[in-house]
Amino acid sequence: MEVQYRGSTRAGIAESIEAAVRSGQLAPGDLLPPVRRLAGELRVSPATVAAAYRDLRERAVVETTSRSGTKVRSRPALGGGRVRRRLSVPPGARDLAGGGPDPRLLPPLAPRLARVAADPAWNEPLGYDDDPTVPELVGLARERLAADGVPVDGATLAVTGGAMDGIERILSARLQPGDKIAVEDPGWTNLVDLLVALRLELVPVPIDDDGPTTAGLAAALEAGARAMVITSRAQNPTGAAVTAERAAELRAVLAKHPSVLVIEDDHAAELSEQSLAPLVGSTESWAFVRSASKPYGPDLRVAVIAGDETTLGRLVGRQVFGAGWVSTVLQRLVLDLWQDAEVSRLVAAAKASYARRRTGLIEALAARGVPAVGRSGINVWIPVEDETSVATRLRDAGWVVAPGSAFRLEAPPAIRVSVSALDEDEVEAFAEVVADAVFLDGNRFLA
């Protein structure tokens, strides 16, 4: 269907394009007309169209590159659906592109909710003027973070509605549009989309199995990055985990830039078999984020954040004037989950299962001459020469994976496989299909 662009003002043109994206007339990756051509069609000045495109870029609806022009972003910041740059899942195909935990390995919440509801603390309903933070949750979080080496002595703790909620509030309170921020490349799509929506300038930092490279971080900070976001372990999409040796190197680099804000995301938490080697505390401004979603269920939108007094004070200030607080129902449920020995056993079993699937797939691929990485977490990253053709061939064979373009800024092509949807007895068969798709037509690997 041909798109009918309309409008005589920058606002009208931008609204017309937004409507086309929401309706599906313009899909992710579709090119918009060149500025001068659309100006001629609408009988407005090129400056008006250019201004409309600029407004859409600032709202994270479109993006402009020097090579391809202006196109709809892979996940435009619009309502009406959660648009992702991923292949459709044909009937009967297996979806290995999701990135979420295996629902079969999550602890059941119903009995825990019943136990929380029976707590005498619920005899008195919470009012608007009451303290909404469950002190037992914060106290236990402080103990658990301290045991992992997070410098919580003298630090402030807060509870937010998930990791992204906390990260967004921190960045909004500490950075301005146009500020540079260092991000992992490849990195988490949701985070990249958020940073673009906040109108921050992304500075990519290459990563390897040990996390962000020392030279890459040093270059980003020298380029003027005022903040950085790093994944401690189970990095999405590569499974990288920061080792103690790499952490020491990165802390030395950060020590030369004491004003840089460091946000560390430990989303896998109890699911990771890798020990934590935190970077936070090496600069004056920092925040360490631990979410409950991966180990206990995506619907648990709760994260505990530790940080310096100024950063956490601004976070809580933003929260007070917005949502106010995280439901104490969710806070008490997370507290109960943390204290439940049976839940701890289930989480440990899930961690072991993910590790077997991940390492099994990497070894099966290596046996067929296909290199892959994934030190921790639920994802395996497979470098390929042409990710679109490989992903398409796998889909045609009944397996849907995520093209690396959804995660990359400057990193080479690859595909991401989420092993949470891959059973252990399917690993060998899937590895064989991957090898066939990769080597078809003489496809080569990129280091």
CATH number at residue 384: 3.90.1150.10
Residues 303 and 393 in one domain: no
Show Cβ contacts of residue 158 under 8 Å, excluding neighbours closer than 6 positions.
133, 166, 304, 305, 307, 312, 315, 316, 319
Look at residue 89 and tell me if it is in a domain: no
SS3 content of the chain, % helix, strand, coil (to 5): 45, 15, 40
Query: Same domain for 100 and 125?
Result: no
N- to C-terminal Cα distance for the chain? 41
Residue 391's SS3 state is helix
Q: Residue 379: inside a domain, yes or no?
A: yes
Average pLDDT over residues 274-295: 94
Kindly state whether residues 277 and 308 are assigned to the same domain.
Answer: yes
Average pLDDT over residues 293-304: 93
Chain position carrying tokens 């400057």: 410
Shared domain for 392 and 329, answered yes or no, is: no
Same domain, 213 and 360: no
| Residue 86 belongs to a domain | no
Give the number of other CB atoms < 10 A from CB of residue 240: 30
Number of domains in the chain: 3
CB 150 within 8 A of CB 288: yes
pLDDT score of 82: 41
Residue 87 lies in a domain: no
Region for 221 from its dihedrals, namely left if φ exceeds 0, alpha if ψ lies in -120 to 50, beta otherwise: alpha
CATH number, domain with residue 172? 3.40.640.10
Its domain, for residue 38, covers 10-72
Mean pLDDT of 305-316: 93
Whether 124 and 147 map to the same domain: the answer is: yes
Among residues 339, 361, 389, the one where a domain terminates is 339
Query: How confident is the model over 55-69, as a mean pLDDT?
Result: 83
pLDDT above 60 (res 444): no
Asked if the structure places residue 313 within a domain, the reply is yes
Predicted confidence at residue 79, as pLDDT, reads 59
**Is the bond preceding residue 258 a cis peptide, omega within 30 degrees?**
no
Residues 188, 278 within the same domain: yes
* pLDDT of res. 325: 87
Q: Which residues contact 52 (CB under 8 A, 6 or more apart)?
A: 7, 10, 11, 13, 14, 17
Q: Where among 318, 339, 360 does a domain terminate?
A: 339
**pLDDT above 70 (res 147):** yes
The three-state secondary structure class of 287 is strand
Q: What would the mean pLDDT of 217-226 be, rounded to a whole number? A: 97
Phi and psi torsions of 237, nearest 5°: -110, 0
Residues 290 and 361 in one domain: no
Place of tokens 């849907």: 400
Tokens standing for residue 93 = 């195909």
The arithmetic mean of pLDDT across residues 211-234, rounded, is 96
Domain boundary among 310, 339, 368: 339
pLDDT of res. 83: 42
Q: What is the pLDDT of residues 164-185, one digit of tens each?
A: 999 999 999 999 999 999 999 9
Instruction: Indicate whether 2 belongs to any domain.
Output: no
Pick the more confident residue, 358 or 4.
Answer: 358
Based on the domain organization, do 203 and 167 belong to the same domain?
A: yes
Domain identity same for 351 and 406: yes
Per-residue confidence (pLDDT) for residue 122, from 0 to 100: 67
**Across residues 400-413, what is the average pLDDT?**
92
Residue-wise pLDDT for 91-146, tens only, equals 888 999 988 999 999 999 998 888 888 877 766 667 777 778 889 999 999 999 99
**Residue 411 and residue 192: Cα distance in Å, rounded?**
14
**DSSP per position, 147-209:** HTT---TT-EEEEESSHHHHHHHHHHHH--TT-EEEEEES--HHHHHHHHHTTPEEEEEEEET
Both 273 and 308 in one domain: the answer is yes
Asked whether residue 80 carries a pLDDT value surpassing 60, the answer given is: no
> Are 176 and 319 contained in the same domain?
yes
**Higher confidence at residue 273 or residue 441?**
273
Whether the CA torsion 282, 196, 404, 408 is positive or negative: it is: negative
The alpha carbon dihedral of 93, 98, 99, 100 has a sign of negative
Task: Examine residue 198 and state whether it is found in any structural domain, yes or no.
Answer: yes
**Residue 327 bridge partners (DSSP):** none
pLDDT confidence of residue 81: 44
